[in-house]
């Protein structure tokens, strides 16, 4: 009998249309797997009622029986939603105790578009608190574990989404990327994901972290699956002031792996001293395979890359400081300690309900925005951000896209960087520049280390070049099998 959790999205859609399986059977298969593995993995913060999910599945089956042509592209297929995106009727905690009882009255645009395409939500996935972290260890609801090895982190902040896809709990999941939070978990868990161009997907209904950096993306097993989902999610939204009115093309993928005429830039700044040798060798092997498919590689320079880490950790915390000011016990969050006055209430509410990493970033951001320091820190960081973006603009005058590692290492063990915030921040050193520049980036698996942990590569392109990234990534996956492997977990 076919294992319905091992199918691609295209195979699943085809089986649903032909009647070889029903949406109820598909949802039941994933709910069963969640029941078996979730206690060990902890990929979800809140799971949707099975009865509601199955009722949606029955409704989808009713539609499928009556459809002659052009059914919704994701009809009857389960998904998971990162718990920083609003879904009406379900609590949205953002991984924080300050929002543990918050239930938004509306659904985020990106989520709604997938539901409109027929997808069936099974729950909200675990995340570092307010998406601030690289390991999902900062979640107030406990960490998610990497299905390849439970002693290792799944990455962050979208660790719950990546682990859920890798363990086949859902066929695809929604995620967000502010400084690498789609790509880094994809690399650690051996799955595929897109961080879109800033403004390509709506941020309406997203709990904000860094407003000039946040993007909403997708994690799935393959480029073909990611493109299939992204086709329904991308596009202009008048409810989001940062949404761009740029047409979404048809993401048609090639049937043959031909990359003739493609010019791929390989930046020396991304192959630095200290990178895990197995990561470098796997990424370089993938680049060589792309050359075999007809691509030409060109060494390039992105000279301001070294400043991305300090620039990001000034800009993102500054924006977080402003965005998180609303969680004060009056507008959002439980009201605590108000007997002695409003300032005591603010102190008690925020001091007791925010976690250590969130407090650290609020303090960093508030300091960077304070009188006498604004221009010296935040203002200067924005100027260097412009230089980082200029590096990419100049590079894309020479090449079509850029190939580089996602992370300097494979997934690290729990607790390995807990007492060293800088070491944790360095895990994002290769992902931050794309967010600062606003460009799209696709992460995909390209190998494994000696311990069987996945290695990820990212392809970065000019603004709104997601179609090119999908085409190239799919061509590579037609000739490689890394994305077809999954952890055979028996906990």
* Nearest-angstrom CA–CA distance, 404 and 272: 11
Residue 244 CA from chain centroid, whole number? 20
Asked if 32 is an active-site residue, the reply is no
The strand pairing partners of 404, in sequence order, are 458
Q: Spot the catalytic one: 23, 82, 124, 202.
A: 82
Q: Kindly list the strands in the beta sheet with 192-195, ordered across the sheet, starting from the edge strand earlier in the chain.
A: 44-47, 120-125, 78-82, 172-177, 215-220, 192-195, 441-448, 454-460, 401-405, 263-267, 296-300
- Contact between 224 and 252 under an 8 Å Cβ cutoff? The reply is no
Burial level of 397, CB count in 10 A (0-12/13-18/19+)? exposed
441: left (phi over 0), alpha (psi -120 to 50) or beta: beta
Number of Cβ within 10 Å of residue 484's Cβ equals 12
Please tell me whether residue 486 adopts helix, strand or coil conformation. Answer: coil
Q: Is 127 helix (H, G, I), strand (E, B) or coil?
A: coil
Q: Give the rounded distance of the alpha carbon of 482 from its chain centre.
A: 19
Contact predicate 384/128, CB 8 Å: no
181 is catalytic: yes
Helix axes 223-233, 466-478, angle to 10 degrees: 160
Catalytic residue among 23, 94, 157, 161: 157
Grouping H, G, I as helix, E, B as strand and the rest as coil, residue 55 is helix
**Which of 162, 216, 159, 218 is CA-nearest to residue 190?**
162
Secondary structure element (H or E) that encloses residue 61, with its range: helix 50-66
Structure letter (DSSP) for residue 444: E
Place of tokens 């989808």: 60
Give the span between the Cα atoms of 488 and 485, in whole angstroms: 9
Which of 271, 111, 125, 114 is CA-nearest to residue 189? 125
CB 397 within 8 A of CB 302: no
Both tokens of 372, joined, read 């006498």
124 is an active site residue: no
Q: Give the orientation angle of helix 50-66 with respect to helix 9-18, to 10 degrees.
A: 60
The CA-based angle 301-302-306, given to 5 degrees, is 125
| Catalytic annotation, pick one of 86, 135, 181, 321 | 181
Cα dihedral sign, 427-432-434-438? positive
Under 8 Å between Cβ of 169 and 33: yes
d(CA 124, CA 174): 9
Would you please indicate which residues are annotated as catalytic (active-site) residues? 82, 157, 181
């Amino acid at each position: 009998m076919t294992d319905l959790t091992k199918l691609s999205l295209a195979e699943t859609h085809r089986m649903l249309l032909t009647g070889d399986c029903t949406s109820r059977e598909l949802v039941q298969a994933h709910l069963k797997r969640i029941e078996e593995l979730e206690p060990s993995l902890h990929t979800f913060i809140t799971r949707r009622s099975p009865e509601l999910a199955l009722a949606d599945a029955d409704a989808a089956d009713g539609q499928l029986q009556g459809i002659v042509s052009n059914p919704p592209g994701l009809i009857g297929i389960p998904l998971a939603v990162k718990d920083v995106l609003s879904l009406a009727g379900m609590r949205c905690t953002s991984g924080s105790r300050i929002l543990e009882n918050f239930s938004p009255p509306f659904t985020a645009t990106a989520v709604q578009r997938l539901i409109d395409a027929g997808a069936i939500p099974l729950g909200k996935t675990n995340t570092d608190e307010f998406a601030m972290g690289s390991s999902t260890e900062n979640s107030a609801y406990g960490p998610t574990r990497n299905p390849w090895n439970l002693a290792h982190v799944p990455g962050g902040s979208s660790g719950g989404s990546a682990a859920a896809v890798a363990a086949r709990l859902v066929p695809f999941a929604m995620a967000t990327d502010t400084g690498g939070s789609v790509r880094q978990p994809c690399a650690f868990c051996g799955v595929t994901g897109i961080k879109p161009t800033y403004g390509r997907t709506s941020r309406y209904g997203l709990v904000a972290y860094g407003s000039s950096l946040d993007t909403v993306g997708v994690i799935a097993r393959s480029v073909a699956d990611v493109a299939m989902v992204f086709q329904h999610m991308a596009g202009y939204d008048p409810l989001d002031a940062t949404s761009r009115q740029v047409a979404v093309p048809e993401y048609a993928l090639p049937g043959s792996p031909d990359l003739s005429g493609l010019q791929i830039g390989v930046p020396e700044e991304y192959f630095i001293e200290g990178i895990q040798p197995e990561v470098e060798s796997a990424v370089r092997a993938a680049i060589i395979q792309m050359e075999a498919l007809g691509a030409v590689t060109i060494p390039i320079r992105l000279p301001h890359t070294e400043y991305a880490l300090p620039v990001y950790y000034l800009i993102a915390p500054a924006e977080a400081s402003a965005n998180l000011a609303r969680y004060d016990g009056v507008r959002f969050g439980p009201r605590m300690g108000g007997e002695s006055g409003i300032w005591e209430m603010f102190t008690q509410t925020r001091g007791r309900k925010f976690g250590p990493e969130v407090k650290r970033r609020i303090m960093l951001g508030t300091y960077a925005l304070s009188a006498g320091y604004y221009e010296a820190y935040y203002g200067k960081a924005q100027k260097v951000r412009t230089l980082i973006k200029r590096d990419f603009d100049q590079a894309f005058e020479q090449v079509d896209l850029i190939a580089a590692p996602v992370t300097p290492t494979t997934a690290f063990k729990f607790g390995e960087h807990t007492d060293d915030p800088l070491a944790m921040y360095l895990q994002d050193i290769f992902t931050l520049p794309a967010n600062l520049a606003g460009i799209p980036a696709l992460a995909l698996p390209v190998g494994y280390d000696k311990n069987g942990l996945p290695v990820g590569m990212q392809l970065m392109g000019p603004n709104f070049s997601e179609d090119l990234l999908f085409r190239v990534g799919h061509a590579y996956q037609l000739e490689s099998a890394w994305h077809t492997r999954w952890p055979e977990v028996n906990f």
